[in-house]
Amino acid sequence: MFTRRMNSVFFGVCALLVLQFVSFIGFSQVSVTGKITDKNGNSLPGAAIAIKGTYLGTVANSYGEYQFNNLKEDNYKLVVSFLGFEDQEKTVKLNESKVVNFELSASAILADEVIVAATRAGNKAPVAVTNLSGDDVRKQNTGQDIPYQLSLTPSLVESSESGNGVGYSALRIRGTDASRINVTVNGVPLNDSESQGVFWVNMPDFASSVDNIQIQRGVGTSTNGAAAFGATINFQTETVNTKPYAEVQSVGGSFNTFRNTFKAGTGLINGKFSFDARYSKLKSDGYVDRAFSDHESFFASGTYYTERSMLKFNVISGDQKTGISWWGNPNINTDDPDDVEDRRYNPAGEYTDENGITRYYDNQTDNYKQTHYQLFYSQELTSNLNMNAALHYTKGKGYYEQYKEDEEYDEYGVTNPVVGGEMISETDLIRQKWLKNDFYGLTYSMNYRKNSIDASFGGAWNRYEGDHFGDIIWAQNGGIDNDYQWYFNDGKKTDYNVFAKLNVELSEKWNAYGDVQYRHISYEMDGTDDDLKPLVQEHKFDFINPKMGLYYTINDRNSAYASFGVAHREPTRANYKNAKEKPELMPVDETLFDYELGYTFKSVKATFGVNLYYMYYRDQLVPTGVKNQVGDDIMVNVDKSYRAGIELIWGVQILPTLKWDANLTLSKNRIENFIEYSKDYDENWVEFDKVTELGKTEISYSPEAVGSSILTWTPSEGFDVSFISKYVGEQYFDNTSNTERKLDDYNVHNLRFNYRINPTWMKEIAFQLSINNVLDAKYENNAYGGNWYEQGVENTWRYYYPQAGTNVLAGVTLRF
């Protein structure tokens, strides 16, 4: 059921848009048209042209021509950009209709954008897409993790185990988590091969080295790595800075949160070389007890440019030590948020000493270091054809450490020791679970653009090798050698794909898009699991993923598109591991059929977009609400399910100094017939399996309403104030639609202040202040749990992740 609040928002924005349209009446209307060419007079189809300070933007047709109609008489700044050419800007005084042509100069160096060209959606691709510029990324980069920096994008829900958005954070888009979202960095896969997830904690302050981001919702266009079952996120790191620079940023705030970042670059040396580097140190106590973060990272990049080629080498490294907080809090009373035993309580590391006193193990931590190496080569073969290739290698190594009470020796393959003539069967111990992995491979692409044709061909080959093992480093009652290894298993995964994309301008109005990908996966596990049972499996998959669509340019202000795509996805290591003793629950691959229909309107003062989607799944793996020992969702296939929704996106320049940007997603997410597997206990506590057919239920972690809003007031140049709101509707954390296992809806408001000055002796001094959760809402943005039966009576257990009340982050940036 959708809330009245969301309906009010929708009708409010409709009224504002009507007012904007009415405001044009009474003004004389003029137009600006023209042609975009190179210095030799050759047209540049696909060149992007925008009117600065407005919502208007378009793309040159196959003849290089563009037009903007129905403009009010005024002064406008037109900005043109095209891959491989220098940007050009012209100020035009429109007191009558004019023709304004652009003649672009070829860039002296090959543009960095060629690296991601094959894996991104173009301007006229029939895809629901959000593009974030470098300025957008910097405005949101207040010290929190990537999921919080992307929180204002459509259909996205962020969550934090620590409660303040630093440390272990996660995101979902259209109800799907990061293991089902394709993430790439410069076109190189970022998703972990075995879990298919992305652990943002391993990439501290990564956003400080990001130049731009593209988010495609739905199956999107073909790319490298894991299948997109909810979205694709593509990051591009630092691009060329032609002049030397240095930047120092320091952020501090609530919960002893501090982030210090230093960046520097040489600019172009002799028009050929550039070097960029960043170092970051981040610490936070976290809102939740002992959910601290102690992180550092660095980024280094060196590039050799020529007019027609580029050789780039990147190193991205993160080293994190984080207090374990993935167990959540069982003490939350959702009926009365103020009636809480302790919202900051964290059970991780809790034990009872020999005197019966409750204590907490100090080093209950997760520790991991991950370094990415990327080598890119790009070559412009002709003015219409370029090629790209990349070699990549990622080294990961780390462990999490736990204090465990009353563990039985035989569970670790150890004979019960005899102490003082008495056989001991249990002991407290400290153990570490390790992961060491290597991920390496190559990606490649060819991109062709001429007149009405824009085509790409590409692919990748990737290999993953990971070792999983456990060491016991201390046992209270002895009997175990220090650093005793009680299990070892490994995983090897080979993944390769090829794809081809074609966007053809059929006429001035119509563009047709086609895309097909073939993907092969081979995965094998071997060895002994932590329960001393064999973990020996082998799985192979071959998938073909076609996509197609049409894009219709109604006029310079209105456009529409429709698309259909198919995606397949293999289960994760955890999916297989959690079902190894239940063959009937062994996971199978999933299939998604994605239908999208969109419309966009743009004017000088307003923009509005609507996207309708219907995502039908066969054998979708959905979270059961239960987690394993490391906080991963335990999932199960459901035969038939779907997600259907409408995404509304709008922006309005209400006054010259007041702007409103917002989005709202309303959806329906259903399993056609959910079968529940649970435990029932009779009066003698004898356990037996209970299977219940529940019929149609809601998909877990899939709120029916998600919306965000940012109201920005700019009273003077260099100073702005933003009032930011995020609403997430109620959601179930299992698939039974039982209200005992449900997260309440929440509405959180933040205030953000930005002030920038430009002294003569340096480039910029920027101040930023974020007051988060200004109304001190008591809410939880994630939870897990399940049920059991006693003599047929259902009972519920649950753990929540409470979020911080009002908290502050403030920072200063010096740019030289």
Same domain, 410 and 450: yes
Cα separation, 205 vs 295, in Å, equals 9
pLDDT at 531 over 60: yes
The answer to whether residue 123 is domain-embedded is no
What is the reported pLDDT for 24?
A: 43
Structure tokens at 461: 């080959």
Q: For residues 720 and 83, which has the higher predicted lDDT (pLDDT)?
A: 720
Confidence of residue 335 (pLDDT cuts 50, 70, 90): low
Same domain, 525 and 415: yes
Same domain, 174 and 42: no
Cβ atoms 493, 458 nearer than 8 A: no
Cα separation, 615 vs 169, in Å, equals 26
Q: What is the pLDDT of residues 384-402, one digit of tens each?
A: 999 999 999 999 999 999 9
Tell me the average pLDDT of the chain.
91
Q: Which of 292, 276, 295 is nearest to 284 (CA)?
A: 292
Q: Which of 804, 752, 801 is nearest to 777 (CA)?
A: 804
Same domain, 208 and 84: no
The answer to whether residue 497 is domain-embedded is no
Looking at the structure of the chain, the number of domains it has is 2
pLDDT at 1 over 70: no
On the CB side of 594, CA atoms within 13 Å amount to: 30
What is the reported pLDDT for 4?
A: 44
Cα separation, 376 vs 154, in Å, equals 32
What is the reported pLDDT for 362?
A: 92
Q: Which of 150, 155, 146 is nearest to 198 (CA)?
A: 146
Please name the residues in contact with 546: beta carbons below 8 A apart, sequence gap of 6 or more: 515, 516, 517, 565, 566
pLDDT at 640 over 90: yes
The answer to whether residue 385 is domain-embedded is yes
Confidence of residue 21 (pLDDT cuts 50, 70, 90): very low
pLDDT at 777 over 90: yes
Q: What is the pLDDT of residues 800-812, one digit of tens each?
A: 999 999 999 999 9
Q: What is the pLDDT of residues 252-296, one digit of tens each?
A: 999 999 999 999 999 999 999 999 999 999 999 999 999 999 999
Q: For residues 96 and 1, which has the higher predicted lDDT (pLDDT)?
A: 96
What value does the mean pLDDT take over residues 778-783?
95
Please name the residues in contact with 174: beta carbons below 8 A apart, sequence gap of 6 or more: 155, 217, 218, 230, 231, 613, 615, 643, 645, 665, 667, 702
Confidence of residue 578 (pLDDT cuts 50, 70, 90): confident
What is the reported pLDDT for 631?
A: 57
Same domain, 92 and 154: no
Same domain, 100 and 195: no
What is the reported pLDDT for 6?
A: 46
pLDDT at 493 over 60: yes
What's the Cα-to-Cα distance from 720 to each of 108, 407, 475, 753, rounded to whole Å?
36, 57, 58, 6
The answer to whether residue 118 is domain-embedded is no
Same domain, 142 and 270: yes
Cα separation, 660 vs 807, in Å, equals 24
On the CB side of 262, CA atoms within 13 Å amount to: 3
| Domain carrying residue 429 | 131-492+502-815
pLDDT at 218 over 50: yes
The answer to whether residue 669 is domain-embedded is yes
Candidate ranges 42-56, 76-90, 454-468, 679-693; pick with highest mean pLDDT: 454-468
What's the Cα-to-Cα distance from 284 to each of 140, 321, 509, 811, rounded to whole Å?
18, 11, 53, 15
pLDDT at 8 over 90: no
Same domain, 155 and 57: no
What is the reported pLDDT for 341?
A: 66
Task: Please say whether the dihedral angle defined by the alpha carbons of residues 12, 15, 17 and 23, taken in this order, is positive or negative.
Answer: negative
The answer to whether residue 120 is domain-embedded is no
The answer to whether residue 121 is domain-embedded is no
Query: Which of 42, 72, 107 is the last residue in one of the domains?
Result: 107
Same domain, 74 and 158: no
Same domain, 626 and 690: yes
What value does the mean pLDDT take over residues 299-325?
96
Same domain, 244 and 99: no
CATH number of the domain at 394, please: 2.40.170.20
Query: Which of 74, 107, 140 is the last residue in one of the domains?
Result: 107
Confidence of residue 636 (pLDDT cuts 50, 70, 90): confident
What is the reported pLDDT for 62?
A: 85
What is the reported pLDDT for 25?
A: 42
What value does the mean pLDDT take over residues 357-377?
96
CATH number of the domain at 95, please: 2.60.40.1120
The answer to whether residue 392 is domain-embedded is yes
Same domain, 173 and 88: no
> Three-state SS for 775?
coil
